[in-house]
Amino acid sequence: MLDQTVTADGRTIGGVVMEMKNITLRFGGVEAIKNISFDIREGEIRAIIGPNGAGKSSMLNVISGFYIPQEGEVWYKGSRRPPMKPYQVAQQGIARTFQNIALFEGMSVLDNVMTGRLTHMKTGLFAQSLWKGKAEAEEIANREVAEKIIDFLEIQAIRKTPVARLPYGLKKRVELARALAAEPSILLLDEPMAGMNVEEKEDMSRFVLDVNDEFGTTIALIEHDMGVVMDLSDRVVVMDYGKKIGDGTPDEVRNNQDVIDAYLGVAHD
Amino acid sequence: MAKTLTRADGPQSVPALLHRNAKQFADAPAYREKEFGIWQSWTWSQTEAEIEALALGLLNLGVSEGDFIAVIGRNRPYLYWAMVAAQMVGAVPVPLYQDANAEEMAYVLEHCGARFVIVGDQEQVDKVIEVQDQLHQFEHMIYLDPRGLRKYDHSHLHQYSHVQEQGRAAYDEYIKELRAREKKLNYDSTGVMLYTSGTTGKPKGVVLSNRNIIETAKSSSEFDGLRQTDDILAYLPMAWVGDFIFSVGQAMWTGFCTNCPESADTMHVDLREIGPTYYFAPPRVFETQLTNVMIRMEDAGRFKKWLFDHYMAHARKVGPAILDGKNVSFGDRLKYRLGELFVYGPLKNTLGFSRVRVGYTAGEAIGPEIFDFYRSLGINLKQLYGQTEATVFITAQPDGEVRSDTVGVTCPGVELKIAENGEVFYRSPGVFVEYYKNPESTADTKDSEGWVATGDAGFIEDDTGHLRIIDRAKDVGQMADGSLFAPKYVENKLKFFPNILEAVVFGNGREECTAFINIDLTAVGNWAERNNIGYASYQELARHPQVMDTIQSHVEEVNVSVAGDEMLSGCQIHRFVVLHKELDADDGELTRTRKVRRRIIEDKYHDIITALYDGSKSLSTETEVTYEDGRKGSIKATLEVRDAKVLPVATKKLAAE
């Protein structure tokens, strides 16, 4: 296990919090992920990049428990994680956003963010419908967390707006808010900036950095925009056709010949 | 209560007013702010404690008497407290516009030599850090919101709450010093310094004394009968004199509650939740709200639309008269009551105006239709005229004497005089002390007897005593035949049409007036969409024959209205063009506050002006434009010059008499 290190901008990065060991994932005859190993350290921003179809989203789905790999082991906080359902993974403190936005369109922003608190609710359905005693106190505490996140992501003005009426960029931000509401120790972001304009990307990057800085959340993200990845992340895993072809700091990865080939293409003689 | 206090024994400074309020209204709300979705509030006694803690903290940091303390950020109770705390320790608060860029900030901070800067958040911290090398006296910065600032070098950076904590901890050590400094404050000590926005040249620091602030707050509060139980929403820039007088001056004098919105974007929701009783907004805000109402009514069901139209027509007929307490028949009153139940009440509630007792608009001319719309709903909207140098109030409209074309009668204690060239001068207890470090400008503006030039031309109506502002004095000129030329007056009339965004009128020293028109892309585009008129660009829409016809009818309507005014009937527009591009601040044609820069426009478009006067039917022109990112390009266009119908003015004879 690695010791604590301090980055150039003063953040502390701790030891390994999650480790993927020799993961292989198949869909029938297709090998989406081929024997990949990498780790995520506490407090870092870890990017997974690669061309289309490289297996990035599959990798994220393995972490979030949506896919169970045929081979390999997932280690979380020092112990091997048995095969789990996604909700069990969420209860362990891993939250995510989705590439194609999966919000409850008919519900308000606030309600959507509150659903992120679900894993922290302990009172039963009966108590909650009566709105008595503990249920009330719990709801108030949860609302407070939700409001802090709404304030943090600067979406106060749309608090009561149904999600369906929001533009794409804001929906992405609401999704981030919902994931944060779970107060995760690891946050998985599947293409948080896809389809955004430059200004929206800048805003989102700022928020990702702020989340990491303010809450100390470990972040694993998939992103296509190389500029964003290189600016944000501490370490980068590069995938191509299900294989890991690079792993290291943005600078190391940028100068890796295999990575350059994968992205720019190589001449086949 | 407050009224019994006289100059001699009354509080002589803003901090003294604070202590009085903390005693008199101890448990009444003084400040509210929405945070985390809930309105947080502070009573007057809590406010006193908060401000005192900060003042002690400032002493602990080494603030000396006479220091300048800049305050930058959006409207938040903490920043208002910072201004009062600065006054308490004998320093001078200098609120700055939060959207100013780093260079503008550098100029002001260096000009006043601020040793301390109190800011809202990281954005402001970054701006000040960017320019701190240019600032020779700058020492410490205090910030409110710690977000994103944890990793910054904290040798000269302090968190607001920590400064307060240190202040509380050092209570015994500094309280005597604080009391001693407060005791020294009197009517003549400086209460605040506000920088004017500087449409011409560099911003000037207007020094206002406690006398200016308290006397103005007192007389204006009495003028409108403001009460301790009133509520205002503080959402306009803190650096603007109006906000200072409303949210600090009048709030401290009458003890009403200042409410701060959650963020700039939530202002309308917050407005609705608070339902202020005393409200100020520039015409632009009222315009936007009216447009929103109209657009939403277009989408409403047929019955609702009918109900709205029916009762609004009735409101227009009798609403203002009822508001002014004039005679209205019983039947009309009854119908108005019904309208209140079905339409006006719910509408006012949606807009957040249910409780407004006194509403003001100022800064620009407001369109008569917009003005009447709000008044017909029973909202007591009035106009006032003022400037920073007067501590806001020069004239205001008393209840019952409200019209859209005047700015009201002189406020209590204000004297007015009109110079020969038409320029308005005033003298009042609110007249500023001086421009900081700028004796020449002070002497230019304020004469030895205390009369201050407003730079505006206007006249006082004989029968009503109301002041009417015509134009900026330097823009007012004469036509070739000697009649008065007031471009802004005509431009405002043109701009009241939703289709016209901007207008520039020419005619100084000439035989007749002509105009440039900019169409409003939103309004005209909306019209084009409804009428299936396709267009690819602003330029194409602007020269569409039907658009030209519409604009021509607007110009002719304005001509009719101008011809009715005997002093200004010479200003009818004979010929006009609809410009091929929008006038833009990036091209230097407008100021950042969207005021027309006449000289620059005249130079840049001299070919079009020539065409307006030589009788040609069209012309080709090429104009350089600057894009938002600073790149330059050019637009070529063929413009049609149109003649507008002019009324053969009988009043010309009057002018000649």
Mean pLDDT in chain A?
88
Strand order in the sheet with B513-519: B500-506, B513-519, B573-578, B642-643
DSSP-assigned beta bridge partners for residue B485: B477
Cβ distance A156 to B265 less than 8 Å, yes or no, reads yes
pLDDT, tens digit (0-9, with 9 covering 90-100), for A235-249? 999 999 889 999 999
In terms of average pLDDT, the best of A21-25, A129-133, B599-603 is A21-25
CA neighbor of B216 nearest in space, from B183, B260, B252: B252
Shortest CA gap B145–chain A (Å): 11
Task: Give the pLDDT score at B397.
Answer: 93
Mean pLDDT in chain B?
89
Query: Does the pLDDT at position B295 exceed 80?
Result: no
**Can you say how many angstroms the Cα of residue B172 is from the centroid of all Cα atoms in its chain?**
43
List the domain boundaries for chain B: 2-258, 283-430+437-472, 477-656
Cβ distance B37 to A147 less than 8 Å, yes or no, reads yes
Query: How far is the C-alpha of B56 from the C-alpha of B181, rounded, in Å?
Result: 11
A18: tokens are 């999650």
The count of C-alpha atoms lying within 13 angstroms of the C-alpha of A17, restricted to the half-sphere facing its C-beta, is 23
Query: Does the pLDDT at position B651 exceed 50?
Result: no
Query: Does the pLDDT at position B609 exceed 60?
Result: yes
pLDDT, tens digit (0-9, with 9 covering 90-100), for B520-578? 888 888 888 888 888 888 999 998 999 999 999 999 999 998 888 777 888 899 999 99
DSSP B294-332: HHHHHTS-HHHHHHHHHHHHHHHHHHHHHHTT----HHH
Reported ipTM = 0.79
Task: Give the pLDDT score at B229.
Answer: 95
Kindly report the pTM of this predicted structure. 0.84
Q: Distances in Å between the alpha carbon of A261 and those of A32, A225, B565?
A: 20, 17, 78
Helix or strand run (H / E) with residue B443: helix B439-445
User: Coil, strand or helix: which one is A223?
Assistant: coil
* B601, amino acid identity: I
Task: Give the pLDDT score at B57.
Answer: 97
pLDDT-above-90 percentage for chain A: 54
Interface test with B, best of A11, A109, A156 (most B CBs within 10 A): A156
Q: Distances in Å between the alpha carbon of B563 and those of A226, B473, B557, B568?
A: 65, 22, 10, 7
| Chain A environment of B269 (Cβ under 8 Å) | 157, 160
Query: Does the pLDDT at position B652 exceed 70?
Result: no
| Chain A environment of B150 (Cβ under 8 Å) | 213-214
- Which carries the bigger pLDDT value, residue A10 or residue A63? A63
User: Who among A148, A210, A214 is closest to B36 (CB)?
Assistant: A148
Do residues B232 and B276 make contact, with C-beta atoms less than 8 angstroms apart? Answer: yes
Interface test with B, best of A139, A143, A150, A151 (most B CBs within 10 A): A151
Task: Give the pLDDT score at B628.
Answer: 64
Interface test with A, best of B36, B123, B263 (most A CBs within 10 A): B36
| Chain A environment of B39 (Cβ under 8 Å) | none
Exposed/middle/buried for A27, CB within 10 Å: 0-12, 13-18, 19+?
exposed
Query: How far is the C-alpha of A239 from the C-alpha of A16, rounded, in Å?
Result: 20
Query: Does the pLDDT at position B119 exceed 60?
Result: yes
| Chain A environment of B262 (Cβ under 8 Å) | 156
Task: Give the pLDDT score at B351.
Answer: 93
Q: Which residue of B has its CA nearest to A212?
A: B148
Provide mean pLDDT across the span B377-398.
Answer: 92
User: Who among B36, B37, B151 is closest to A9 (CB)?
Assistant: B151
- Which carries the bigger pLDDT value, residue B310 or residue A130? B310
CA neighbor of A244 nearest in space, from A3, A72, A86: A72
pLDDT, tens digit (0-9, with 9 covering 90-100), for B316-340? 999 989 988 888 899 999 999 999 9
Cβ distance A157 to B35 less than 8 Å, yes or no, reads no
CA neighbor of B446 nearest in space, from B222, B216, B212: B212
CA neighbor of B405 nearest in space, from B477, B473, B458, B328: B458
| Chain B environment of A214 (Cβ under 8 Å) | 147-148, 150
Question: Does the beta carbon of B38 lie under 8 angstroms from any beta carbon of chain A?
Answer: yes
């400074």: which residue's tokens?
Answer: B13
Provide mean pLDDT across the span B621-631.
Answer: 77
Cβ distance B150 to A213 less than 8 Å, yes or no, reads yes
Shortest CA gap A34–chain B (Å): 40
Provide mean pLDDT across the span B299-304.
Answer: 89
Domain B283-430+437-472 has CATH 3.30.70.100: no
Task: Give the pLDDT score at B1.
Answer: 40
pLDDT, tens digit (0-9, with 9 covering 90-100), for B455-512? 899 989 888 899 988 888 888 888 888 888 888 888 888 888 888 888 999 998 898 9
Q: Which residue of A has its CA nearest to B145?
A: A152
pLDDT, tens digit (0-9, with 9 covering 90-100), for A28-70? 888 899 999 999 999 999 999 988 888 999 999 999 989 999 9
* Chain A residues with a Cβ under 8 Å from any Cβ in chain B: 9-11, 110, 143-144, 147-148, 150-152, 154, 156-157, 159-160, 210, 213-214
Cβ distance B151 to A10 less than 8 Å, yes or no, reads yes
Query: How far is the C-alpha of A199 from the C-alpha of B189, rounded, in Å?
Result: 47
CA neighbor of B200 nearest in space, from B597, B559, B533: B597
| Chain A environment of B36 (Cβ under 8 Å) | 144, 147-148, 150-151
- Number of CB atoms found within 10 A of residue B27's CB: 9
Do residues B13 and B210 make contact, with C-beta atoms less than 8 angstroms apart? Answer: yes
Q: Which residue of A has its CA nearest to B264?
A: A157
Cβ distance B262 to A156 less than 8 Å, yes or no, reads yes
Cβ distance B150 to A150 less than 8 Å, yes or no, reads no
């950020």: which residue's tokens?
Answer: B73
On the question of a common fold for B283-430+437-472 and B477-656, the answer reads no
Task: Give the pLDDT score at B653.
Answer: 43
Shortest CA gap A87–chain B (Å): 28
Q: What CATH class has B477-656? A: alpha beta
Shortest CA gap B147–chain A (Å): 7
Cβ distance B148 to A157 less than 8 Å, yes or no, reads no
Phi and psi at B484, nearest 5°, equal -70, 135
Do residues B457 and B424 make contact, with C-beta atoms less than 8 angstroms apart? Answer: yes
Q: Which residue of A has its CA nearest to B269?
A: A157
Query: How far is the C-alpha of B476 from the C-alpha of B459, rounded, in Å?
Result: 13
Do residues B375 and B381 make contact, with C-beta atoms less than 8 angstroms apart? Answer: yes
Exposed/middle/buried for A75, CB within 10 Å: 0-12, 13-18, 19+?
middle
| Chain A environment of B147 (Cβ under 8 Å) | 152, 210, 214
Question: Does the beta carbon of B35 lie under 8 angstroms from any beta carbon of chain A?
Answer: yes
Considering the domain B2-258 in this protein, what is its CATH number? 3.40.50.12780
* Residue A268 pLDDT grade (very low, low, confident, very high; cuts 50, 70, 90): low
Phi and psi at A241, nearest 5°, equal 45, 45
**Can you say how many angstroms the Cα of residue B537 is from the centroid of all Cα atoms in its chain?**
32
CA neighbor of B52 nearest in space, from B18, B24, B77, B26: B18
Provide mean pLDDT across the span B292-307.
Answer: 86
DSSP assignment letter at B181: H
Q: Using CB atoms and an 8 Å cut-off, which of residues 132-151 of chain B contact chain A?
A: 147-148, 150-151
B349: tokens are 């509630």
| Chain B environment of A156 (Cβ under 8 Å) | 37, 262-263, 265-266
pLDDT, tens digit (0-9, with 9 covering 90-100), for B7-56? 546 889 999 999 999 999 999 999 999 999 899 999 999 999 999 999 99
